[in-house]
Amino acid sequence: MLWRRFNGEPIDLPIKSAVEAAIRREHEAGNRLKVCIGTDSQVRSHETEFATVIVFLREGRGGFMFIHNEKTLTQYSIKERMLVEVAKSIEVAYELCDLFTLYDVDMEVHADINTNPGFKSNEALREAMGYILGMGFAFKAKPEAFASSSCANKIVN
């Protein structure tokens, strides 16, 4: 997986090493961190682009994020696409969760799924919530899921 910073600068380390370095740097600077992981997608013609973000929030001092983009020609129903987004976020969260435990960093997985039944994405809410909570992660959906619905959304739009 190729990751980059918001300014486009590539992250040359494996993502786990880059995240650990960021956590250490922020702790040494006296910052308390919270991490939110989310994925959003955009369908264009026959291609679906996914953006996964790891958002680092400094308590009272802004934040920064790491970004991964991926494109596929696979065609998905809306429900399938929402669950693929969640799966991509969980894959990253699972790879990094031991670091968050080690450094006492709160982590949430954000799903770009609307809690309002009037929206098509709501079809995937129950499964997504069960998947995330079943993995032992904190879960947020729209409108609280800013990592997916705002941060990752800016990357694919």
> Could you list the residue range(s) of the whole structural domain that residue 106 is in?
3-156
Instruction: Confirm if 142 and 125 have CB atoms less than 8 A apart.
Output: no
- Give exposure, 109-133, as e/b (b: 16+ Cβ within 10 Å): bbbbbbeeeeeebbbbbeebbebbe
Query: What are the pLDDT digits (tens) for 16-40?
Result: 999 999 999 999 999 999 999 999 9
Number of domains making up the chain: 1
pLDDT exceeds 90 at position 157: no
Q: Look at the pTM and tell me if it is higher than 0.75.
A: yes
Measured CA distances, 38 to 13, 76, 124 (Å): 21, 19, 15
pLDDT at 54: 98
The pLDDT value given to residue 116: 87
Instruction: Give pLDDT tens digits for 45-79.
Output: 999 999 999 999 999 899 999 999 999 999 999 99
Q: Which pLDDT belongs to residue 117? A: 87
